[in-house]
Structure formats: structure tokens, C-alpha cells
Chains A and B, each alone.
Chain A
Amino acid sequence: MKTNLIQNFIQNQNTQQAQPAQKPKRKEAPHFDIHHELANRTFIKPLKGHGRLINGNLLDAPVTMAKSLAYDTKALFNGIDGEANDHQLGKLNDIGMKLGGLTIAGYLFTKKQTPLTKAMEFVGLGSFFASMAIWPKLAIQLPARLIHGFNVQQQYEDSFGRKKPFYQDPQFLPWDLYSDDEINKIGDRMGVPKDLPNRREFIQEKMKKIAIQNNTLWMLTAGFATPVMSALICNALEKPLSKPLSNMRSSSNDNILANFNKIVKENNYQKITEEIEKAISIDRNKPLTKEMVTEYAYVMCKGFPAETAEALADDLCDVIKIENNLIGNTTAKTIYENAKKALKAVEIPDKIIDSVIMKPEELIQYFEEKGFYGNDYNVDDIDRIYSEYVIDMRSRINNYNSANPDNKISKKAFNKIIDIIVRAPEEDNPILKGLKVEHGAILNPKNEAIIKGVAQTMNDLRGNLNVVNKYLLHQLGTAPETTIADYWNNTVDKLVKALKITPKEIENTRGDRLLVTDLLQKRFDDIATDKNAYKAVMSTMIEQMTELTKTIKQSNVNETTLNSKEETKFNKQLDAIFKSFEENLKKVAGLKDGDMEGILSEMLGSRKNQEVPRSANGGYNDLFKKIASDRLLEVKASFFRILNSLDLHRRIAVGDPKYYTALHGEMLREAKEDVVELSKLIGISGHTSDYLTKFFKQRNPQMAQKDKSNIVVENGRMVRKYTAQNRSGEIVDLPQAKELFVESMKLQYENPLLDETVALFGSKHKELFKEFETYRRTVLNEIGNANAIEKELHKVSDAGSSASSAKIFKLTGAATDEVIANFGQQAFNTRKWLKIFGTTGAALLGVTVLSQFFFGKMKLPQTPQESKKG
């Protein structure tokens, strides 16, 4: 049935006139009353819209966000109830996408190890969504507004309060939301002639066209732009983020030391005690074997090497007396049965056997009388008991012979008995075997208490050491984003900037250490000739090195080679942990001196006997201290080496012989030049192995003997009178010429520092200066004179040195060229990546913006020509 609204109304009116008016039972919605609308016949028209254009600004953002959140929440609940509309369902898709993104970031967060990489997961997510939102605003909306004068991404709110893009559906554009003034203003901006007939329609068409073109452009470019922009945002944020995160981690590390016991308690490490408890509950009251105890020891030594577990196992076996045997009923029974069987086998009559060998009950009584019964004994004691038994057996034989004078045991039978009972080796001896048949060590309450006590002590130690390990790793670990790694990266970054190494140089030398060596040699020479440049680089490095003491507080942890031996919090904490370990170990099972010496040696260091103090060397306590100290030393040595090398270059450049006295008057000029060249080179590129082998240098075996003049410096560079020329002849390594190495080391580490270098430290960095001096002295003493390891036939010095290769490694630190090469590699990769994607992003932005100048081209409608016909 189809009914016309008006007919329906007229009919209704007629009915109402005929009958008294009835009020409708249900009240209509306030904005729509069909009776009211129809009563007003003149103005039958569509309902007035309540839509509006949204022209929000930044200040509205919080309110908009809150409204949007409320809308989304309502959409979700409506959706769950099955009452959501299309617009709400569209919003739920956005919610799902964000939820999915958060889930991915959350999952990957758990897979990452360091704070920055963890944080970057969420930064990546945020930047991706931000890019999705920013790109159309930056590359589409903004240029379009500037070029065409209107917002192609205009939003509007419909009559139901739903926010929608105005140009989303070009076939349905609610133009009535734009006033004539607004449209005309846009038309003016577009240059649409003011007298154009149907001007508004033309402007609208033009706007629609531009919007369609821009929406298409958006779809075509967003796929390229969003990931690139997101990656660029992440790249830009990585550095600013790393600084506060590094500071946070550093203070968190300090907090570990400050609240050590609290953190240990919070961690509540109980793995060892739980596992031992479990094992004991299975093994309770069983005989304890060495295998069982070893198994317990391995559980107790979680995180320690096998040697430590074996040491603990041996200690526990000793304390528990695992080898002891019990004298009990089984002993008596076994002795009797073994002996009887053995004697019977050699045809000893039963009567004799019964007289000579005690029956089990007699044997028990015998052991009781002797005081052996029910006790456990070690091997020596068992031998003693056996001896007594044999003596008593001989008495029994004598007694038998006395009692049976006519039927004495024959000599032959006697010998057989003695062979079996006395002369037989242990493995065939029925008495000895019987005496050792019962295990003395049982997992009884006493032994259980010992094992549990030791387990608890080891558990507490592991709990403490876990926190120590965490501190060491986060503060000084060879891993990304530790405090020391962040400091190192920061310092190298500043050094590269101070050395004015350009990205081009990095690109040219990347991955090739020799090229970096060459670059640094030239750069160091250049810097050395320029006082201001020298001052700038040195000041940067001195500042940075002092920074280390602020980043890693010396009162917390310190190295002890260059610095005073002040006790640090870290060392004190370790002492407290191991002292408590020792005391607890003694306490748990009432141990006496000498017990558990194996594990105590492992932890605290060994000692020759109980009267002398332990040598800390080799114990875990000392090991932890050394790890921290050595790590700091390696870092300091790497940077001190750069300071020293720069100072050497400058000393030569200044040309004052008082700063290079190693080039003494007896040395040939050519040798002096060799020493200077080698010194400069090894400061930059010398590896530990080079110091160990005392360097190979191709030299002239027939130097000009008469020329002992000093080196000559011109324009800050040594004149290479010999080393640059006359090299066409034979040049060889001269291992016997010890002065090359010795004098090179003296030139680098013994000759005085330049006054201007000393002045740069000033009073502000006097502590650092002291360390620097100590460093130079130590390197000279430990390495400069060492002949411990060297190439064959190479005589350096008669003086011996205690410097181990490990010590040489720590003191030489990292080779400067390698430090810069590694940095260059990383810097190149980052730069290359940025270049590729930065260029892509910029090109895309350019194309997107430029193409918009060609949008919206429309021919003006032709005004119809008036007909000239009459």
C-alpha cells in the first residue's frame, strides 16, 4: 500500500474534526513531530540538518580526544550488544588496529634486552600511527590549503554527532554546511571570476575535483610515506631517548648498591633450597653415596663452574663421612655368612667353623661388648676392628684346641682358615667385606640438617651474586646500553667530532683499518701543528674522561691500577657477602676449622694452612672485584693512550728537544727518525700483540754512522732526512737493535709532557692528571721494559718484568684506529640508511606537493552566445 503523506494528513484531520481529538499516547521525539510538520502545510520540507563543519584547533585537542575516546568506548559496548551502526563499526576497526599494534609492541618489548630497544618498540608503534596521521596533513592538506585555499581533508559532524571526512564520498557532499560567503571566499582564492553564472556550483565542482585528486594522491603516497616517515621519526628519536634512559639506568645501578640487601630480599632467590628440599624428600633415610652428594653439590653451585661443584661435593663427603661404615646387624650377618661359605668351600668341618666363626647374635654381642655396635667408622677404624677380630678369632682357635685336645685343628686346616680370614686380600676377605657392607652415612636428620644448611648458604650466596652480576652487567658489561658502553660511545662520538673527521672521510675509510690509520696519522699531525686545534681536541678528551668519574662514581666502583686503593661500596659489599658466606657455612652444621676448605678456597681464595691468612687471589670475591676494576682500566687506558699520543705528536711538532730526550746524543739520526715514526704509529695502531712481539719495523741495516744530529722539525713536522729517502736499498727488521722499542717507549711514556698539555688539565682535572701520570709510569714500567714475550732473537732488555700478557692487554687498551674504524662503520651504516630513506621521503614529499599545483584545472563554462536572429 502506498499512501501519500498529505492525503493521509487530510484524512486524519477530517477524522479529528468528526471525533474529539485524542492525544497520542506516546510522546514523539522532541525534534520530530509529524503532526506539527504536517499541520504547517506551507512549509513541508526536509527536516533541518544539525550538521556542522569542524574547524578545530590545537586547544580543542584534549576535549576532542576525550570525546573521541568516549565515542569509541560507546561504540565498543554497542557493538558487543549488537547495536552498533556503520560509523561505530568503522571506529572499532581503528580500535582493533591500535590494540593489535600495542600487542605487537608489547610482545617484542619482552623479547628485547635493553631499555632503549624496549622503548623503541613503542616509539615505533607511536611513530607509525603518527605518520599515518601526519603525512596527509603535511603533504596533502597543508599544501592544498596554501595552493587552493581550502581544506581538502575537512571534517564535519552529521546530525547524529558522527564525525566524518567531508569529501569521503564525492557522490554525497553536504554542501549546505558551507555558507555562500565561505564558498565565495574559496572561489576568490581560486580565482574564479566573480560574475560567473552559477558561481557557487562551479566552485563546488572545482573543490570536489581537487578533493578527489588529493584523496587519490593520498592513497597512492601513503604506502610509501608512512613506513619511511615512521622510520625517520624513530631514527631521530633514538638519540634523544638514549640519554635519559642511560641516566635512568645509571641511577638505577647506583640504587642497586645503595639498597643491595633490600633488592636481594625482593628478588627472593630460592631455587637452590627448593631443589635440594625436593631431592631430600625423595632420598630421606637412604644411605648417602658420593654420587648423591655430588648431585646435590651441582645443584648448590648453580652459576659456578664444575670445579667449584666438585670441591663442594668433596667437602660435603668429608663432613658427612660418606666413606664410613656402620657396624650393625647386617654386618654381623654378612660376616658370618661370608666366612662360613668361604671356609666350607675349603672343606673346613662345620664343627670347627661354628667354634671359630661367631654366629650373628654372638657377633652382635661381641661388637656391643667392644663398643663398636651401632657406630660408624672410617677405613682406618675398620682396619683396627678387623685386627681385633682376627686376634680374637685366633683366641677362639686356641680355645677350641684346648677344649678338644684329641681333635685339634690340623695345621693344614689352620692355614686354610688363616688364608681366608687373615691373608686374603680385601676384595676376597669375608670379614673385611662384611665390616664394610653397611653404609655409615645415612640421610638422617643430622646429615639432612648439614645438607640443607649448606644449600641455604649457597642459595643465599647465589641470590647475592645474582644482584652483583646484574650490577656488573648493567654498569660495566660488554653489552649494548650498559653505562660504560653508553659512556664509550658518547666519548668516541665527541672525539670524532673534535678530530673533525667528516662523513666523507668515514665513507672513504670505512671497514679498512689501514686507511683509518693513515687518516689518523695525518689528522694527528695536522692537529699537532695547530695550537688551538690541539687545545680543542685535548680539552674535549680531558672533559670526557673526567665525566667518567661522574657517570660511574668512584665511591661505588673503581679501578685500582691507576687510582688510589680506596675501598669502594662494590668491594665492601662483596667482602660482606663472602664473609657472611664463610660464617654461615661454619654455623650451619657446627663445622670446625678445616671443614669445607675446598669451597671456601674457591670463594675466598686458598691458604697453605689454617694458621695463615688466605690469598685473596683466585677466589670469587677477588674475581668480581677484578672484573670491575679491569673493565674500567681498559676504558681509561684506551682514552689515556689517545691523550698521550696527541701529546707526543705535539711535542715533536713544537720541536723542543727537552720533550724528546729519548732521542739521545748517541743515537744515529736515522734511528731517531725511526723511533719518532714508530712512536707515532704505535700510539695510533699498536695492538697488544705488537707490544708482545716488540713490533716489526723495516729499517736500514747500514745507517749513516756519522750523523748523530737531532731530528729537525719544520712547520710542525719532522724532516725525514733518512726515513723518507734512501729507502730503495735493503730494508729489514733489526731484532737485535733493542733501542728502537725501548727508546720509543721512553719517548712516548717517559719523556715529559708538554707544558701546555699539563696546563690543559689545570686544577680542575688534577685527579685525572695524577691518573694520567700513573698510567704513563705504569705502561713504561710494565711494558716498556718487558722481555717476557718477544720475537725470536729480539733482545729488548735484561730487566725482567712481571707484566703478563693480560696486563699488557689492559694497559694498552683498544687501538685508536680500531676505535675510530668501528665507529666509522656504524656511522656510515646509519648515514647510508638515512641518505636512502631521507632522500626517498624528501622526493616523495616534493612530488606530492608539486603535483598539487596541477590539480583542479577546469574550464570555465562557456556563456551561451545570444542569437543574432530576431
Chain B
Amino acid sequence: MILPVNSNTQHNQKFSARNNEENKKYTHDTLLPNNFSTRFRIGMDKFTNAITLYPAKGLKGNRNANFYEFLTMGQVPYLIGSGMLMGVFNFANKHFKSFAESKASKIGNKMALGVVFYGIAKDLSKSLITKPVELLTGVDTEVPYAKVNYELPDDLYDTDITSIEYHKVFESVEFPRWDLLYSPSDSGKPRNAYYDRVAKKLGLGSNLKDSDQEVKPRIKEIVVKSKVAQNISSYLWAATGVAVAFQQPWDEFFKSATFKFWKGKDFKKTLSLFGQSMERSLKAFYRGEGNGITKHAGKALLFSALAVSALGVGNVMSSSQKPSKLDSADIIEKERKYVVN
């Protein structure tokens, strides 16, 4: 990469919510630990960028705008859309007469709760796939890394040409960042430490000569299958969340709930009531009412979501326990010549 002749390139950065001092710690693409603190930090960084810098950049038509920014901005319609969806069922209610308002608010409240439960259930349910997979295979499909991105200068005086992007190692199944999973020489660990661990976990044995070559196809398969399972099951869990939000016991909750958190006693009562309503709603959802399909729809939905999650993990495991499908002899033809870069 040809960089502009400037001695200050490392000291200036634009297009990030983080201050420069903090971002300076990433001078090259860096693997990050997949823990709550990192996830929260990344989430906040992406969120603040998505609502401030990226739209500003995009509306100006900045030539450095990229696909990452476009995807990150995808949060904006998701969040605004959620709010609007709640609003569509609630904003007009205050103009109605009391009875109509109470009737409309009942639906509106449930709809709003449904939107919240949709998001929470969709997000949390992904762990039902990723955690067991990680436990059983040693492959964390969600492991993040910070990418140092070089940009074109906006003008002659623009010396800030780097930005930090947060990606996941297995974001692309076609081009996973295998390189980040090798241990650096100064870490004191064997270069293939990660791959050795996964190979062992997958039952391919220890002390393999080329553990990385052995496990890469298997990891790729695991990642693909995990993503399929997540994509399908998370929406079923999201639907389950909506269904729970539409249960009768929430009517009582909204009748006496307050969201004024500064009113300590009342708010505490609301939280306790929320717990009770949740419990009753889950029961109501599971038991159902009426007869036939109406009665059993809740159970059917719950068991479908559970089944898809379980089958998803099962599918990941079923093939990762098999030996590699291709023998190296099939891949490398000894009689042919290969170009290695």
C-alpha cells in the first residue's frame, strides 16, 4: 500500500467514535477476546458510528464510504423501525376517548412489548447455537477482531487515513481471517496452538504436523452450519418472544406498571410485577386456551424453535465428528505443477 508522505499518519484518525489515543492501540489487525466487555465496547462503537459519523459520511457521498459502514448503518432502520412500529400502535391513542384509548393501548402495549421481545429473543437465542458449538468443538464462531482500515485522503491536507472497523474472524466463510488465529511468535505459544486445540477437541488427535490444514475445512463447515442454524432458529425464537408478549397477563402488568425509574418504590414494584407477569405469560403461552390448534399453537411454536436449535447444533456436530471428506491425495495431484504465492 502506498501511503502519503507524511510523518503524522499514525497520529490522526477520523470516522470513529473513539478518541485517537484509544484507537492508537490498533496498529494492525488485532484479534480481540470474545467477552462481554469487548462485545459491549464494539456494540457501542458501532452504534455511535452508525447514528453519527457514518450517516454524515454517507450523506456527503464520501469516497471512503464502504460496505462495512453501509452494513453498520443497518442498525439504524432496525432501531428506528422498532420504535416506529411501537409508535404506529400507540402514538394516536392519546387522541381517542378513554374507552377506545384503553382498548387501543392494550394492543399497542403488547405490540411494543412484542418488538422488544423480538429483538431480545433473536439476539439471545443465537447463543443456543454458538455456545454449545464452542463447547463441543472449541470453535468460537463469533470471535471479533479490530481491522485497521486505510483510506484515501480527502484532500491534500488530510493526514488522517486510518479507521478502525470491527469484524468477526468468521464473518466471511469464503475468506475467514485464518491468519489471525495463528499465535504470534512473541506469545510463547506454538504457532498452531489454536488449531491444535480445535483438532484435539474435534477428535483428530494431538501433535498433528499440520493441524491448521487439517482443521480449516472442518472449521469452515462448522461455521457455515452454525450460521444456517442461527439464521433459521433465531427468527423462530423471535417469533416465540412476540407470542409471549401477546399473552393476557401483560394487560394487568401495563395497568399498574410505571416506567418512571426515579420513583424508586413504584418502579421496584413494577419490576417485581414484570417478573410475575412474565411467569404467568409463559404459562399462558404454553398452556394456550380454546381448543385444537388455538390451544396448542404456543407449544408447537416453542418446540419448533427448540427443535430447530437442537437440530442445528446436531447438524454441526454430526459432520464435525466425521473424518475429513477429502483425502489430501485427492486435493494435491502430485503429477501436476502448482503455483504457490
Give A contacts to B, CB under 8 Å: 1-3, 5, 8, 12, 22, 24-26, 76, 79-86, 89, 92-93, 95-97, 99-101, 103-104, 106-108, 110-111, 168-172, 205, 208-210, 212-213, 215-217, 219-220, 222-224, 226-228, 231, 510-511, 825-826, 829, 832-833, 836-837, 855-856
Q: Does B259 contact A (CB under 8 A)?
A: no
Nearest CB in chain B to that of A209: its residue: B61
Nearest CB in chain B to that of A22: its residue: B335
B225 in contact with A79 (CB, 8 Å): yes
Contacts of B85 in A (CB 8 A): 227
CA distance A107 to B118 in the complex (A): 14
Instruction: Find residues 44-80 in chain B having any chain A CB closer than 8 Å to their own CB.
Output: 54-55, 57-63, 65-67, 70, 73-74, 76-80
Q: Does B255 contact A (CB under 8 A)?
A: no
CA distance A106 to B243 in the complex (A): 10
Partner of A100, one of B220, B221, B239: B239
A86 in contact with B319 (CB, 8 Å): no
Contacts of A25 in B (CB 8 A): 333, 335
Partner of B67, one of A3, A111, A169: A169
B221 in contact with A82 (CB, 8 Å): yes
Nearest CB in chain A to that of B301: its residue: A107
Across chains A and B, which 7 residue pairs bring their CB atoms closest together, nearest first? A223-B80, A100-B235, A216-B58, A209-B61, A82-B221, A79-B228, A169-B67
B3-11, B87-95, B263-271 - the one binding chain A: B87-95
Query: What are 7 A-B contacts with C-beta separation under 8 Å?
Result: A82-B225, A82-B319, A84-B228, A85-B173, A100-B236, A104-B242, A212-B61
A79 in contact with B224 (CB, 8 Å): yes
Q: Does B234 contact A (CB under 8 A)?
A: yes
Q: A104 and B239 in contact (CB under 8 A), knowing A76-B228, A829-B96?
A: yes
Instruction: Find residues 136-193 in chain B having any chain A CB closer than 8 Å to their own CB.
Output: 172-174
Partner of A24, one of B55, B58, B222, B336: B336
B239 in contact with A169 (CB, 8 Å): no
Beyond A83-B224, A220-B77, 6 extra complex contacts between A and B, CB < 8 Å: A8-B337, A22-B335, A26-B336, A219-B73, A223-B84, A829-B104
Report B283 CB to chain A, min CB distance, Å.
16
Contacts of B62 in A (CB 8 A): 212
Q: A-facing mask of B220-251, CB < 8 A → 1, else 0?
A: 11101101100110111011001100100000
A837 in contact with B97 (CB, 8 Å): no
Partner of A3, one of B55, B220, B234, B339: B339
Partner of A1, one of B73, B97, B319, B340: B340
Report A50 CB to chain B, min CB distance, Å.
18
Nearest CB in chain A to that of B59: its residue: A216
Q: Does B81 contact A (CB under 8 A)?
A: yes
Q: A226 and B174 in contact (CB under 8 A), knowing A25-B333, A92-B227, A836-B92?
A: no
CA distance A103 to B239 in the complex (A): 6
Nearest CB in chain A to that of B241: its residue: A104
Report B1 CB to chain A, min CB distance, Å.
13
A103 in contact with B235 (CB, 8 Å): yes
Contacts of B221 in A (CB 8 A): 82-83
Q: Does B278 contact A (CB under 8 A)?
A: no
Contacts of A224 in B (CB 8 A): 80-81, 84
Q: A107 and B239 in contact (CB under 8 A), knowing A82-B319, A170-B63, A227-B81?
A: yes
CA distance A215 to B59 in the complex (A): 9
Contacts of B87 in A (CB 8 A): 227
Q: Which of B61, B122, B319 has the most CB of A within 10 A?
A: B61
Q: A3 and B58 in contact (CB under 8 A), knowing A228-B84, A825-B97?
A: no
Report A560 CB to chain B, min CB distance, Å.
35
Q: A-facing mask of B289-323, CB < 8 A → 1, else 0?
A: 00001100110010010000000000100010000
Report A520 CB to chain B, min CB distance, Å.
19
B70 in contact with A215 (CB, 8 Å): yes
CA distance A5 to B339 in the complex (A): 7
A107 in contact with B80 (CB, 8 Å): no
B231 in contact with A92 (CB, 8 Å): yes
B297 in contact with A107 (CB, 8 Å): yes
Q: Does B37 contact A (CB under 8 A)?
A: no
Give B contacts to A, CB under 8 Å: 54-55, 57-63, 65-67, 70, 73-74, 76-85, 87-88, 91-92, 95-97, 100, 104, 122, 172-174, 220-222, 224-225, 227-228, 231-232, 234-236, 238-239, 242-243, 246, 293-294, 297-298, 301, 304, 315, 319, 333, 335-337, 339-341
Q: Which of B84, B234, B297, B336 has the most CB of A within 10 A?
A: B84
B172 in contact with A86 (CB, 8 Å): yes
Contacts of B236 in A (CB 8 A): 99-100, 103
Q: A219 and B74 in contact (CB under 8 A), knowing A76-B228, A100-B236, A209-B61?
A: yes
Contacts of B232 in A (CB 8 A): 92, 95-96, 99
B340 in contact with A217 (CB, 8 Å): no
Contacts of B76 in A (CB 8 A): 219-220, 223
B70 in contact with A168 (CB, 8 Å): yes
B96 in contact with A3 (CB, 8 Å): no
Q: A223 and B77 in contact (CB under 8 A), knowing A171-B67, A217-B59, A829-B92?
A: yes
Where chain A touches its partner, the secondary structure class is helix
CA distance A208 to B293 in the complex (A): 53
Partner of B97, one of A89, A209, A510: A510
B235 in contact with A227 (CB, 8 Å): no
Nearest CB in chain B to that of A221: its residue: B77
Contacts of B225 in A (CB 8 A): 79-80, 82
CA distance A837 to B339 in the complex (A): 62
Contacts of A111 in B (CB 8 A): 246, 294, 297
Contacts of A216 in B (CB 8 A): 54-55, 57-59, 65, 70, 73
A12 in contact with B337 (CB, 8 Å): yes
B224 in contact with A832 (CB, 8 Å): no
Report A273 CB to chain B, min CB distance, Å.
17
Partner of B339, one of A8, A103, A227: A8
Partner of A85, one of B57, B82, B174, B336: B174
B58 in contact with A213 (CB, 8 Å): yes
CA distance A224 to B79 in the complex (A): 10
CA distance A772 to B251 in the complex (A): 46
Partner of A97, one of B63, B79, B235: B235
Q: A209 and B238 in contact (CB under 8 A), knowing A89-B173, A92-B231, A222-B77?
A: no
Partner of A80, one of B100, B234, B315: B315
Report A211 CB to chain B, min CB distance, Å.
8
Partner of B227, one of A89, A210, A222: A89
Q: A219 and B77 in contact (CB under 8 A), knowing A89-B231, A95-B232, A104-B243?
A: yes
B96 in contact with A832 (CB, 8 Å): yes
Nearest CB in chain B to that of A34: its residue: B339
Report A269 CB to chain B, min CB distance, Å.
12
Partner of A215, one of B58, B243, B336: B58
Q: A511 and B224 in contact (CB under 8 A), knowing A93-B231, A209-B61?
A: no
B335 in contact with A219 (CB, 8 Å): no
Report B217 CB to chain A, min CB distance, Å.
9
CA distance A89 to B239 in the complex (A): 21
CA distance A822 to B81 in the complex (A): 33
A220 in contact with B55 (CB, 8 Å): yes
Nearest CB in chain A to that of B58: its residue: A216
Nearest CB in chain A to that of B89: its residue: A231
Q: A96 and B246 in contact (CB under 8 A), knowing A82-B225, A212-B62?
A: no
Report A171 CB to chain B, min CB distance, Å.
5
CA distance A85 to B227 in the complex (A): 11
Report A860 CB to chain B, min CB distance, Å.
16
Nearest CB in chain B to that of A99: its residue: B235
CA distance A231 to B242 in the complex (A): 18
Partner of B88, one of A97, A99, A106, A231: A231
Contacts of B243 in A (CB 8 A): 104, 107-108
CA distance A314 to B232 in the complex (A): 61
A170 in contact with B66 (CB, 8 Å): yes
CA distance A171 to B67 in the complex (A): 8
Q: A84 and B77 in contact (CB under 8 A), knowing A25-B335, A209-B61, A224-B84?
A: no
CA distance A22 to B67 in the complex (A): 47
